């Protein structure tokens, strides 16, 4: 489980310079950028905040995201 303090400071690395990059905590397994729609998986309670990782899931509808995220 990710702490609320961490969730409050995390931002989308692709958006943070030009926009807010706020992230939504989704089903305890994903962080979804409210600006660009990139989806960052949470594996073993660690958010994978790599732009390339978020790009992999950007076209996937939130309802179709696998819970838990697949191991890569």
Q: Is residue 72 part of a domain?
A: no
Other C-beta atoms closer than 10 Å to the C-beta of 31 total 23
Q: Is residue 71 part of a domain?
A: no
Q: Is residue 23 part of a domain?
A: yes
Q: Is residue 70 part of a domain?
A: no
* Domain at 50, CATH number: 2.20.25
20 backbone φψ class: left, alpha, beta (φ>0; ψ -120 to 50): alpha
Please tell me the total count of domains within the chain.
1
Q: Is residue 58 part of a domain?
A: yes
Whole-prediction pTM value?
Answer: 0.93
Domain that holds residue 22: 4-64
The tens place of each residue's pLDDT in the chain, 72 residues long, gives 788 999 999 999 999 999 999 999 999 999 999 999 999 999 999 999 999 999 999 999 999 999 999 987
């Amino acid at each position: 489980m990710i702490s609320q303090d961490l969730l409050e400071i995390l931002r989308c690395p692709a958006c943070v310079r030009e926009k807010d990059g706020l992230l939504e905590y989704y089903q305890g397994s994903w962080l979804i950028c409210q600006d660009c729609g990139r989806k960052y998986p949470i594996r073993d309670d660690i958010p994978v905040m790599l732009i390339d990782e978020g790009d992999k899931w950007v076209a996937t509808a939130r309802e179709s995201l696998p819970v838990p995220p697949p191991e890569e």
